[in-house]
Amino acid sequence: MTLLIRNGHVIDPANAIDEVCDVWIEDGRIAGLGEFSGTASETIDASGQYVCPGLIDMHVHLREPGQEWKEDIESGSRAAIAGGVTTFCCMPNTQPRLDHAGVLLQVIDRARQVGLCHVHPIAAVSRNLEGKELTEMRELARAGAVAFSDDGMPIWHAGVMRKALEYASSFGFMVIQHAEDLELTSGGCMNEGWMSTQLGVTGMPAEGEDSMVARDIMLARRADARYHVAHISTAGAVALVRRAQAEGLKVTAEAAPHHFSLTEEEVMHFNADAKMSPPLRTEEDRKAILEGLRDGSISVIATDHAPHHEDDKRCGLSCAAFGIVGLETMLPVSLELASNNVITMSDLIAKMTINPARLLNLDSGTLSEGRAADICIFDAEKRWTLDRSKLFSRSRNTPWHGRELTGQVTHTIKGGRVVFRNGTIHD
Amino acid sequence: MMKLQHLFGIADLDKEQIEYLLNLGESLIDVSRRPIRKAPTLRGKTIINLFFENSTRTRTSFEIAGKRLSADVINISASTSATKKGESLLDTGQTLAAMRPHVLVVRHSISGTCQFLSEYLEGTSIVNAGDGSHEHPTQILTDLLTLRQAGGYENKVITIVGDIAHSRVGRSHLLAATLMGYRVRLVAPKTLLPAEVERYGCEISHDFDAAIPGSDVLYMLRVQTERLTDNCSFPSIREYHEAYGLNRKRLAAAGKGCLVMHPGPMNRGVEIASDVADSASARILEQVEHGVAIRMAVLTALCGDTGGEG
Amino acid sequence: MAEVIFDTVAVEQALDQLAAGIHGDEIFLAGIQQGGADVADSLQERLQARGAAVERGNLDISFYRDDLDTIGPNPEVRPSHLPFDISGKTIWLVDDVLFTGRTIRAAMGELFDYGRPAAIRLVILLDRGGHELPIAADLTGLTHAASAGCSVKLVAGDAGWHIEQRRVKV
Ligand SMILES: [Zn+2]
């Protein structure tokens, strides 16, 4: 049984491969790259398309357990493979929280049953995300947690954050922070600035994120800890991360596609589908994130996929839930970075494959011989218009509805099996 | 001229439309001064006042406006718990729209409520009677009519004092000033000013006394006393009155020609001293009278089918 | 093209004749905006010249029309203003052109909101025919049978008032 992907433009940043060649798969593993000369049982003609490792999204909110009407592990997995994502990390703010090994194992087990994606939980830093007592991190790691975060909530109090960084780093775990000083952002529903002033709504100032990141970096320095900024959104935070990295600290950051492609202008006319936390910021912030992606300060692109039911969005901007779905738009929106020459295609793919894999010690994100054959094939030129009713996600909250996007996933292969092909899922 | 379908805010109007509404309003002042205060203009029209926030005066003003023009006016006060706000808002809006009123007048504490409702309600004109800290267009039209009756607003300096950050009246005036050719001077401590407010092109001062010379109108905003002290925006009412309250001395410094306005309801002794509120410079009761006329004008404009040619 | 159907001389003569028909020492005149107010101004001058005491007011019937739905509110609306108590008085209601009668019906409606007059007398400079309501003037200056597709207007020229007729698209 040989699956041959012929004549695609293969991008495998881990192995510095950026050329047109064949990729062949045997027994669910990468068997070789180059010019194929045997006989294949199935052939995918990838001429004119890119072939890269299956994408990794290290920031996804599944709503299972607890709010399955918004998204469950199955619908989330379907959305992922439709977006070329074969591996993702799910955040702990479910009901119950991912703060106990039992819940973690249940999620992992369910994801295996669905079988479309590799799902790695990120477990809670504090019990019930309350920011008071630490979770049993060693036990959670044994159960499968790949990192720790209270995302959905920040680890707000400095004393708790200090202990979290010290304890997690004692065992080599990374702490991921949703950097937001809740006192500064209280009641806010968008970036604080000219736009929030015009709309007459309470804003969330950039300083709410900056001050948290600055504080955390100081604490991480003292603890010699691995600290990762989730969904970085401000110019100030990017500068802080860059400086910390120059200093040699183990500080990393991820950016979400909406933060480097959209600005607060989207919220004009009270658009609740442009409401998320951290909020869309200004053009200067957006440019700073592009620069951070370019110079490597931001090494990962992750979606912060946050499904919400229509009822939670259709109630006026101030009342609407925070978050947008992102798995199915991650690749096309991010491809703008390459087409606008912000970064090379290889760097772009690295930020969605090998970089998060290395950060989380995952055995994926490359096309190295012998690795599980998780592959994404996409047409970088294909133009299409997003129709939210056609999303595979159970939720519809996207600001890209009705917009033309460039770049579309044609095939997603997981473990050598074609699970998504030209718009259809094969489970 | 663009036909008015809804009135969400000054931001959606142009100069011509504002002048037209002021003309209509000016003509309608007289209707409220006759022995029989009723004209048949809106006979057969149904108007629903949907108020999610308590505001007896604005609701009454809209109610009288509708009734004086022979419309059928129904008042609904929807009380809302903080958490249920959203759901009940859309449901209530859709339910009322299904009863086919011509106009839905909406007051809500959430900015953008009218725009939001309009996306889901068809065939009903929506008038914003104040949404959160966003806009309050009929109040600004009322103020402009009052200024027009007092000699005009063009090139005048209107000094707005108080909690600009949470003021829909302030925002609507800032928009109208650019459109209609008057100037706005904002007076407040930084805690009560919204981010980047200078981008409206207004003057900003933290010192009331320094801002008084050259002002043609002192426009005092209502202080929401709970809000002021709860979130550390101001230490005390006493200090507020001392720093930003309008008293006799400040009124004297403003000079004889300077008018005093207030969108109401007033907190006497907080943002405005009692004797100032009752002084000859005050146009506060005129504002109330003109408020009815402007709301009659707005309802008439929304109910007429084509608006333009007469 | 506009066609002058009554020149300044004819209009002035008609105004003299109307003024002569208005009797009493204390006269209450209400002009209908805009043309009727202009006619009322001219009548007022003539009446005062002969020594009568004249009280003047104007009505704008925009808010009393029955056609808000079809043509919308009048963008040129002017205030109604009757600075005297009309109760028990004879009111001389003045308009420039009498056509369908709907304007007069609206004006009478509005007048009654100011009080209960003893009588209303209708003074019309030009009756152009085409009445749709049982309304006729008490005093008529000029008559002219205009066709339905024509607009007839009192116009201020260099020499004074004249009346024009023009064909409008139907
Ligand atoms: Zn987050």
Classify residue A196: in a domain, yes or no.
yes
In a domain, A339, yes or no: yes
Answer whether B230 touches C (CB < 8 Å).
no
Does A320 fall in a domain?
Answer: yes
CB contact under 8 A, B171 and A200: yes
For residues B130 and B155, membership in a common domain is answered with no
Catalytic residues of A: 304
Region A21-44: mean pLDDT is 94
Residue B120's pLDDT is 87
Domain ranges of chain C: 25-142
**Do B128 and B167 share a domain, yes or no?**
no
Whole-number Cα distances in Å, C151 to A257, C59, C78: 65, 22, 22
Provide the token pair at A372. 């599980």
Which pLDDT score, from 0 to 100, does residue C136 have? 94
Contact: B116, A316; criterion CB under 8 Å? yes
Ligand 1 centre to CA of A288 (Å) is 19
Q: What is the CATH number of the domain that holds A78?
A: 3.20.20.140
pLDDT digits (tens, 9 = 90+) for C51-65: 999 999 999 988 888
Cβ contact, residue pair A201, B111, below 8 Å = yes
Which of A193, A194, A201 minimises the CB distance to B132?
A201
pLDDT at B308: 36
What's the total number of domains in chain B?
2
Domain that holds residue B66: 10-134+288-303
B130 plus B158 within the same structural domain: no
Chain B residues within 8 A of A200 when measuring between CB atoms: 111, 131-135, 168, 171
Q: How confident is the model at residue A352 (pLDDT cuts 50, 70, 90)?
A: very high
Do B58 and B109 fall into the same domain?
yes
- Give phi and psi for A88, each to the nearest 5: -145, 160
What is the SS3 assignment for A123? Answer: strand
pLDDT per residue over B70-81, tens digit each? 999 999 887 654
Asked if A321 and A282 sit in the same domain, the reply is yes
Spatial contact of A117 and A103, defined as CB atoms under 8 Å apart? no
- Same domain for B173 and B266, yes or no, is yes
pLDDT range class, residue C72, cuts 50, 70, 90: low
The complex's ipTM works out to: 0.91
Q: Verify A-C touch: 3 or more CB pairs within 8 A.
A: no
* pLDDT tens for each residue of C3-55: 899 999 999 999 999 999 998 889 999 999 889 999 999 999 999 999 999 99
**Looking at the predicted structure, is the pLDDT value of residue C70 above 70?**
no
Closest CB to B40 among C71, C78, C109: C109
On whether both A102 and A151 belong to a single domain, the answer is yes
Provide the pLDDT for residue B225. 77
Residue B38 CA to residue B33 CA, distance in Å, equals: 10
Taking residues A144-163, report their average pLDDT. Answer: 96
Looking at the structure, do residues B24 and B121 belong to the same domain, yes or no?
yes
B147-151's contacts with Cβ under 8 Å and 24+ in sequence apart are B147/B217, B147/B259, B148/B22, B148/B26, B149/B26, B149/B286, B149/B290, B150/B259, B150/B283, B150/B286
- Own/partner long-range contacts of B272-275 (Cβ < 8 Å, ≥24 apart): B272/B220, B272/B245, B272/B246, B273/B245, B273/B246, B273/B247, B273/B248, B275/B248
Q: What DSSP line would sit under A176-239, residue for residue?
A: EE----HHHHTT--EESSHHHHHHT--EE-HHHHHHHHHHHHHHHHHHT-EEEESS---HHHHH
CATH value of C25-142 in 3.40.50.720, 3.30.310.40, 3.40.50.2020, 3.40.50.10890: 3.40.50.2020
Query: Is B309 domain-assigned?
Result: no
**Cβ neighbours of A198 in B, within 8 Å:** 11, 171
Total count of domains within chain A: 2
Query: CA-CA distance, A171 to A158, in Å (whole number)?
Result: 21
pLDDT of residue B88: 75
Of the pLDDT bands very low, low, confident and very high (cuts 50, 70, 90), residue C170 is low
Same structural domain for residues B244 and B183? yes
Chain B residue with the nearest C-alpha to that of C79 = B27
Q: What's the gap in Å between the CA of C86 and the closest CA on chain B?
A: 10
Do residue A19 and residue A93 come from a single domain? no
Q: Are residues A42 and A77 in the same domain?
A: no
Distance of alpha carbon A36 from alpha carbon A23, whole angstroms:
8
Q: Any CB–CB contact under 8 A between B294 and chain C? A: no
Predicted confidence (pLDDT) at residue A425 exceeds the cutoff of 60:
yes
> Is A22 part of a structural domain of the chain?
yes
| Residue B120, strand partner residues | none
**CA neighbours closer than 13 Å in the CB half-sphere of residue B296:** 31
For residue A188, the enclosing domain spans 54-360
Average pLDDT taken over every residue of chain C: 90
- Omega before residue B263 within 30° of 0, cis: no
| Amino acid at the residue C55 | E
Same domain, B97 and B192: no
CA–CA dist C61, C112 (Å, integer)? 12
* The pLDDT value given to residue B305: 53
Q: Is residue B2 part of a domain?
A: no
Q: Are residues A218 and A288 in the same domain?
A: yes
Q: Does C62 touch chain B (CB under 8 A)?
A: yes
Q: Does B115 touch chain A (CB under 8 A)?
A: yes
Query: Is pLDDT of A196 > 70?
Result: yes
In-domain check, residue A285: yes
- Give the span between the Cα atoms of A280 and B185, in whole angstroms: 31
B269 in a domain, yes or no? yes
Q: List CB contacts (< 8 A) between C70 and chain B.
A: 305-306
Contact B112 A201 (CB under 8 A): yes
Examine residue A261 and state whether it is found in any structural domain, yes or no.
yes
Q: Which amino acid is at A66?
A: G
Across the interface, whether the CB atoms of C71 and B310 are under 8 A apart is answered yes
Q: Among partner residues B24, B69, B309, which is closest to C71 by beta-carbon distance?
A: B309
CA distance A314 to chain B (A): 7
Confidence tier at A316 by pLDDT (50, 70, 90) = confident
Per-residue pLDDT at B81: 47
pLDDT at C76 over 80: no
pLDDT at B83: 42
Q: In this structure, are A300 and A154 located in the same domain?
A: yes
* CATH number where B292 lies: 3.40.50.1370
Q: Tell me if there are at least 3 CB pairs under 8 Å linking chains B and C.
A: yes
Chain B residues in contact with A322 (beta carbon < 8 A): none
> Do B266 and B157 reside in the same domain of the chain?
yes
Residue recorded with tokens 């918004």 = A70
Q: What is the CATH number of the domain that holds A415?
A: 2.30.40.10
The residues of chain B scoring below 50 in pLDDT are 81-83, 306-310
**Is residue C14 within 8 Å of C141, Cβ to Cβ?**
yes
The answer on A47 and A88 residing in a single domain is: no
For residue A400, is it within any domain?
no
Report yes or no: B96 and B126 within 8 Å, Cβ to Cβ: no
Residues A209-231: pLDDT tens digits? 999 999 999 999 999 999 999 99
**CA nearest neighbour of B6 among B73, B70, B110, B97:** B97
How close, in Å, is residue A190 to chain B by CA atoms? 12
Is B156 domain-assigned?
yes
A385 belongs to a structural domain: no
Cβ atoms of A178 and A151 within 8 Å: the answer is: yes
Q: Which of B291, B15, B26, B3 is nearest to B176 (CA)?
A: B15
